[in-house]
C-alpha cells in the first residue's frame, strides 16, 4: 500500500548529555516542545535527559532532527527563540530523510558583533551561500565598515525574513530604484 511507511507510528527516544541546557531547549512553559508537537504532529515527553517522540515515523524523525539541531545550537552557546524553532522545523521538513538540515544551517552562518545568524529555511541557506551580494542580501544585510560600497547599498536595500507576495513586490521596487539610481535614469512612460 503506497504511503503506508510514512504513516507507521513510531516511538523514538533521544538523549541529551547536558541537563542544564534542557530548560532553554524546551522553552518557557514548554512552548518550544508544544510548537514542535503542533507543527509535526508528534507527542513529546521528557524524563530526565531522555526525550520520547511518538508519531508517524517521518514526523518522529523530523522532530528528532529539530530537537538535535536546537540542542546543538545551545551547546555552541547560541540561544533558542521561537523563530529558531520554526526555522529548525522548516529545515528538517525540507531535508532528506535521516538528515537534520543542521549541516546546511551551520555552513551558512553569518557572524555579527552581537550574535550568530543562521538560516531558517532551506532557501535562506542557499541564498546565504551565494557569491552575489544582491542575492545574499535577501536574507541578511552584511555590515562592512562605514561609507563603503556595501554600507551605501545597504541604505537602499532591505532583507526579508519571509518570502511572500508583499516582500517580492517590495524587493522589486527596491531593485528598480537602485537600478534607476545606478544608471541615473528616469522611468519611461509607456
CATH number at residue 104: 3.30.1370.10
Together in a domain, 105 and 165: no
What gap in Å lies between CA 90 and CA 157, rounded to an integer?
Answer: 26
- Decide if 55 contacts 10 (C-beta within 8 A): yes
Together in a domain, 183 and 102: no
Degrees to nearest 5, angle at CA 16 with 20 and 13:
140
Which residues form the domain of 103? 1-120
Together in a domain, 104 and 137: no
Question: Tens of pLDDT along 126-154?
Answer: 666 667 777 777 777 888 788 888 888 88
Boundary residue ending a domain (120, 145, 166): 120
Q: Does 125 fall in a domain? A: no
User: Quick count: other Cβ atoms within 10 Å of Cβ 83?
Assistant: 10
Together in a domain, 9 and 103: yes
User: Quick count: other Cβ atoms within 10 Å of Cβ 96?
Assistant: 7
Boundary residue ending a domain (69, 94, 120): 120
What gap in Å lies between CA 52 and CA 148, rounded to an integer?
Answer: 51
Q: Does 35 fall in a domain? A: yes
pTM: 0.56
Q: Which position has the higher pLDDT, 145 or 119? A: 145
pLDDT at 118: 63
Together in a domain, 101 and 186: no
Question: Tens of pLDDT along 7-66?
Answer: 578 899 999 999 999 999 999 999 999 999 999 999 999 999 999 999 999 999 999 999
Quote the number of domains for the chain.
2
Q: Does 162 fall in a domain? A: yes
- Decide if 43 contacts 54 (C-beta within 8 A): yes
Together in a domain, 8 and 27: yes
Boundary residue ending a domain (120, 152, 173): 120
Amino acid at each position: 500500500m503506497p504511503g503506508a511507511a510514512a504513516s507507521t507510528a513510531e516511538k523514538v527516544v533521544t538523549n541529551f548529555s547536558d541537563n542544564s541546557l534542557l530548560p532553554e531547549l524546551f522553552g518557557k512553559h514548554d512552548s518550544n516542545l508544544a510548537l514542535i508537537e503542533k507543527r509535526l504532529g508528534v507527542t513529546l515527553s521528557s524524563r530526565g535527559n531522555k526525550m520520547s517522540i511518538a508519531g508517524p515515523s517521518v514526523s518522529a524523525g523530523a522532530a528528532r532532527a529539530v530537537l538535535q539541531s536546537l540542542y546543538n545550537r545551545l551547546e555552541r552557546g547560541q540561544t533558542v527563540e521561537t523563530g529558531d524553532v520554526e526555522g529548525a522545523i522548516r529545515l528538517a521538513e525540507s531535508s532528506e530523510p535521516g538528515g537534520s538540515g543542521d549541516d546546511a544551517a551551520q555552513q551558512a552562518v553569518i557572524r555579527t558583533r552581537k550574535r550568530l545568524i543562521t538560516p531558517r529555511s532551506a532557501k535562506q541557506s542557499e541564498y546565504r551561500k551565494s557569491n552575489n551580494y544582491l542575492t545574499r542580501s535577501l536574507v541578511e544585510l552584511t555590515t562592512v565598515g562605514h561609507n563603503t560600497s556595501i554600507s551605501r547599498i545597504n541604505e537602499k536595500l532591505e532583507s526579508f525574513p519571509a518570502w511572500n507576495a508583499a516582500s517580492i513586490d517590495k524587493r522589486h521596487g527596491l531593485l528598480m530604484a537602485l537600478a534607476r539610481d545606478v544608471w541615473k535614469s528616469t522611468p519611461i512612460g509607456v
